[in-house]
Amino acid sequence: MFILLTALCCTAVLYALYQTLGSFWAERHAYQHARRHAHKTLHDQVLRQALQEADAAGLGSTFRAYVSGVMVVTGQVRLQVGQLLWIFEQLEQGKRFDPAQPVPRFTKA
């Protein structure tokens, strides 16, 4: 009985570890995939979806300030995929847009 319970506990721990690492690797793969496309311009539909998600999280006005600020600073009409990732990182850190802050520009490597 003790061996069965020990095996069951070990299996549960291994399964939890598998789930955690699996989600970590999937998220890391998605991020690396997006970084490979960082130089590409962002599709309007993706930007609209990001705006909806920012609104749902209560960060809509800050997100819009970043988007318009990046467009003004870079002189571009559309964002790049990498700039959107950079905006998300800034929002996660709780930072507000500052025009004096350098905005990253991405080129094809």
Residue 109 lies in a domain: no
Residue 92 lies in a domain: yes
pLDDT tens digits, residue range 1-16?
Answer: 888 889 888 898 889 8
Residue 79 lies in a domain: yes
Residue 71 lies in a domain: yes
Residue 5 lies in a domain: yes
Regarding whether 44 and 27 lie in a shared domain, the answer is no
pLDDT tens digits, residue range 58-107?
Answer: 888 999 999 999 999 888 888 888 898 899 889 889 889 888 888 888 77
Residue 66 belongs to what domain range? 40-103
Regarding whether 55 and 25 lie in a shared domain, the answer is no
Residue 90 lies in a domain: yes
Regarding whether 77 and 32 lie in a shared domain, the answer is no
- In this prediction the pTM is 0.66
Q: What is the DSSP string of the chain?
A: -HHHHHHHHHHHHHHHHHHHHHHHHHHHHHHHHHHHTTTSBPPHHHHHHHHHHHHHTT-HHHHHHHHHHHHHHH--SS-BHHHHHHHHHHHHTTPPP-TTSPPP-----
